[in-house]
Chain A
Amino acid sequence: MVGHRLVSALRDRDAEGAWQVTVLGEENRRAYDRVALSSYVDGTSEEQLRLPDDDLRADPLVALHLGDAVTTIDRDARTVRTASGASFGYDALVLATGSTPFVPPVPGRDLPGCFVYRTLDDLDAITEAARAAVGRTAPGRRSAVVVGGGLLGLEAARAMRLLGLSPQVVEIAPRLMPVQVDDGGGALLRSLVEEQGLKVRTGVSVDGIRADADRLVARLSDGVELDADLVVFSAGIRAADTLARKNGLAVGERGGVLVDDRCRTADSHVWAIGECAALQGRTYGLVAPGYAMAEVVADRLLGGDARMTPEELDMSTRLKLLGVDVASFGDAHAAAEGALEIVVDDPVAGTYAKLVVSAPGGAGGAGTGADAPTLLGGVLVGDATRYGSLRPLVGSALPADPVTLISSGGAEPDAGALPDSAQICSCNAVTKGALCAAIDDGAHDVASLKACTRAGTTCGSCVPVLAKILTQQGVEVSTALCEHFAYSRAELFEIVAGAGITSFSSLVASHGTGLGCDVCKPVVASILATLGSIDGRGGHILDGEQAALQDTNDHFLANMQRNGTYSVVPRIAGGEVTPEGLIVIGEVARDFGLYTKITGGQRIDMFGARVEQLPAIWRRLVDAGFESGHAYGKSLRTVKSCVGTTWCRFGVQDAVGMAVELELRYRGLRSPHKIKSGVSGCARECAEARSKDFGVIATEDGWNLYVGGNGGFTPRHAELLVSGVDSATLIRTIDRFLMFYVRTAERLQRTAPWIEAMEGGLDHLHAVIVEDSLGIGADLDAAMAAHVDSYADEWRGVLDDPEKLSRFVSFVNAPDTPDPTISFVTERGQNIPASTPEPVLIGLPEVHR
């Protein structure tokens, strides 16, 4: 990573092309984001892990030589030789070899099934071994031992769990993350981690590993033996300094290539940066100090005089991904003389926060007197949302009483109050001053700020602060829907509802400009449909002028596929369908030659219908009792369910019954984006309800409601909104949740980002919906009741109306002629689109002069 940064910084500044760079890498891959390594297990691809500036490889002055480790350096001849025997000369040699995982010298550590956690190759090997274990070992016995309970160990443990093994973390220190977290935070961290299904043993070490048939047994220092399919060592790292040692370059006392504050070794042609470097004797295991070193060397190579200032290096860390929020920054252990600790420990809420501050100028205690205490560091466990705004304050006077800064609901430090020197992005050492300069130069949104300063491109924890700085610098992040409306969707909703507007043309005349477009028209169509259904006007989405606003999917009440045909999805509420229903679907699909597939939402999708076939297909489906499944709409899709008490031995509530009731209640509700739901009959969660916008899980004494989950590009688990409620309360809560969402979310904003963007987040949502803090509860209830009453099947509405039916033709002048561009081939016994000849790029029309 650091080597990549050097090349990118050098190529950025070396305008004359003075340096020709050759990158020699042992890994057979281009540079990738190791900090985000663990997301690879979640399905992030190698391509998505590429670092910014990956296009350097196209630069003629940069040559990559990968999959070949450097084995020797000849400092006199100034050449290096690689394992494959290739040799390269140099004027400057920069070592950026990183670290190697430290594996304690215990017997058995080389057995098959033992791994380290550092590279993509390691993760590929671990994934493969975990798959084999899942195939081999009975459920309930699949397990992995993770040696080391630091930041890395916890990431590794989470990866094990994702791969289907239950992880046991063995940490020699008395608490988890001993480097970052203090005892108080460690205790809470442990209980949070255990809630996530990880087992933790602290104060013990692994003494040896032995094979037992096709599994492993790890013996601990207290005599306990743990069975495991895999053992992952993440017990620390050692600077990769072998090259220096072999070639007579000095190394630090605790390893690492010894360099001065220019990052240069005693040999004036050899430099070292990143984790392999011992800067004035000390190594750094984080990426930010490495990036700083890369910048210094780039500057030096170009004749500059940049220096490292180790006392300014930021060692802040935040645990990513585990679902447990932990962060530590600055002087977390109050090592500075006279430092005071202020702790807010709330075991009920599951949060622990500590700030370390300096005792102000001798007189008075912390927080008293004129000069406010200076923030030195802190630890946040359970809720680290303040990390982004507190960390940059390190070294500055606290803007408010420290206790309120770390109490929930207390003052949030204001990004505006930060001095220009405050480092906002610690990974890339970007100060507030640099960000403000970029904003002045025209970077007016988060994406362009990221692109031109690199802030937020590594661990991402400062991104919320970037947005705040933008606002605070007076940049209005435009919420305008499109060029025709200066309003956001939520604002338009209020306008349309408040002014009683019933058509796009009157809305655009009174509040917009122009003819509209494919962005605003469907949004307004959706708002009109929602309002129509809740103010009792009812009406069909294809009535009158409204029809012209609909996206093609809504316009034909079917989902357009890549060859211009449509797919047809009848509603199968809760995934429950009779054999007769299945037979009708089968017959329709067979008679119209449709490809059938079971969807993830527990229903059946029929593909390949031509537009002129849709009415005949639906005539048969409606006659058999089916109705539109709204697969085409931004509206409720499905409520997936497990069989619950109906059949399952474990079920504690009627999951199918509830799912059917919910699906029928919310069907047809037009919303800012699609809405998915699920109901599980017990905590085993077979319906995957927590990956849904609203998910219901049965408990012994009622239902738990989770909100804000989704799959897709950025998967999110839904979070608990209410627990143990009866059916009526559950339904009322969902009514309000959905209505509030429909009213206030932005275009194409799913529930998760909607909640995230809400000031106060889930707590605020809870206040509005459960405690009725805004006093709109009765309104929301009435709106949903009206929606439920006014529901009518959209397909039946079309079949009953000759005018609407007349639009379902292939050609206006040849209504029964099938579109000649559509053709099918057979694959696995079904029709699929014949691959289109390479998309035809039609040139400009000829101009005849």
Chain B
Amino acid sequence: MTTTRPLENALTPGSRRAGVADDAALEPRRSPESRPAARVGTEVSGWLHVCPLQRLQPGRGVAALVGDTQVAIFRMEDDVLYAVGNVDPYTGAAVISRGIVGDRGGVPTVASPVHKQAFRLDDGRCLDDPAVSLGVYRTRVCGADLQIGLR
């Protein structure tokens, strides 16, 4: 099932995988097996420039506005990038980008700064309540630029 949306608003929330920096220099510490496979139907129809990668501090997130959609983009300490929805599903506050990232049992996570629920960064699921999740988006690094995938 796929639905089409106007382009400026069309992220790829269907993707179950976060973007991994394309630049080889940015992903040396990640073992290939741990990469979630790209799924069929998540083809990206275009890439939107967000900001220079430089603007992202390792271990921290930023919020980006893509059309009407708010996306939280994180640059992990090992330079892997993840992008998930910025709105905390529990409170409706657009603050996920301000959460602390880390891992739970090796799974990369971000903790909502409102009430501390942890969300997986790779598929958006809430570890404290599997029925809740954030959308996930694809990112890539093109030259010095961080880009987000539109569908």
Spell out A's residues near B (CB within 8 Å). Answer: 483-484, 505, 514-518, 520-522, 545, 547-549, 551-552, 555-556, 560, 562-564, 806-807, 810-814, 817, 819-822, 836-837, 839-849
Contacts and interface: CB of A to CB of B under 8 A. Distances in A.
A507 to B, nearest CB: 13
B57 A547 contact: yes
B32 interface: no
Q: Which 3 A-B pairs have the closest CB atoms?
A: A848-B41, A548-B59, A517-B102
A552 B60 contact: no
Given A848-B1, A848-B14, A517 B62 contact: no
A562 B64 contact: no
A836 B58 contact: no
B100 A551 contact: yes
Chain A interface, DSSP helix/strand/loop, else mixed: loop
A839 B65 contact: no
Contacts of A517: 100, 102-104, 109, 111, 118
A848 B60 CA distance: 30
A43 to B, nearest CB: 24
Contacts of B13: 845-846
Interface string B92-110: 1111001111111110110
15 contacts: A505-B77, A521-B102, A548-B77, A551-B113, A560-B98, A564-B95, A807-B57, A811-B70, A813-B66, A819-B94, A821-B92, A840-B89, A840-B92, A841-B89, A842-B134
A812 B1 contact: no
Chain B interface, DSSP helix/strand/loop, else mixed: loop
B39 A560 contact: no
Given A841-B132, A845-B135, A848-B2, A812 B64 contact: yes
B101 A515 contact: yes
Contact of A484 (B102, B113, B135): B102
B114 interface: yes
Contacts of B105: 483
Given A811-B64, A819-B70, A518 B108 contact: no
B54 to A, nearest CB: 10
B14 A847 contact: yes
A379 B102 CA distance: 54
B114 A549 contact: no
Given A518-B102, A552-B99, A846-B13, A812 B62 contact: yes
B35 interface: no
B149 interface: no
B85 A842 contact: yes
A814 B93 contact: no
A552 B113 contact: yes
B38 to A, nearest CB: 11
Contacts of B42: 848
B116 interface: yes
Nearest to B109: A517
A821 B41 contact: no
Interface string B10-31: 0001111000000000000000
A522 B39 CA distance: 36
B43 to A, nearest CB: 9
A847 B124 CA distance: 12
Contacts of B55: 806, 812
A813 B65 contact: yes
A518 B14 contact: no
B116 A564 contact: no
Contact of A564 (B93, B124, B125): B93
B59 A549 contact: yes
B37 interface: no
Interface residues of B, number: 63
Contacts of A520: 102
A843 B124 CA distance: 10
B81 interface: no
B67 to A, nearest CB: 11
B117 to A, nearest CB: 10
Nearest to A814: B65
B133 A844 contact: yes
B90 A552 contact: no
Contacts of A560: 95, 98, 113-114
A514 B93 contact: no
B150 interface: no
A849 B40 contact: yes
Nearest to A611: B98
A178 B2 CA distance: 80
B33 interface: no
A548 B77 CA distance: 9
A12 B125 CA distance: 37
B51 interface: yes
B55 to A, nearest CB: 6
Contacts of A515: 76-77, 101-103, 108
B98 A845 contact: no
Given A564-B95, A813-B66, 10 more contacts: A518-B118, A548-B58, A552-B99, A807-B57, A813-B64, A836-B91, A839-B91, A840-B87, A843-B133, A848-B39
A505 B77 CA distance: 9
B128 interface: no
B144 interface: no
Interface string B78-91: 00000001010111
A388 B57 CA distance: 53
A522 B113 CA distance: 12
Contacts of A813: 49-51, 64-66
A556 B98 contact: yes
Interface string B107-151: 011010110101000011100000111111000000000000000
A811 B63 contact: yes
A165 B145 CA distance: 71
A641 to B, nearest CB: 33
B62 to A, nearest CB: 4
B145 to A, nearest CB: 11
Contact of B132 (A549, A820, A842): A842
A301 to B, nearest CB: 41
Contact of A820 (B15, B68, B116): B68
Contacts of B89: 839-842
A849 B98 contact: no
A573 to B, nearest CB: 29
A341 B22 CA distance: 83
A805 to B, nearest CB: 13
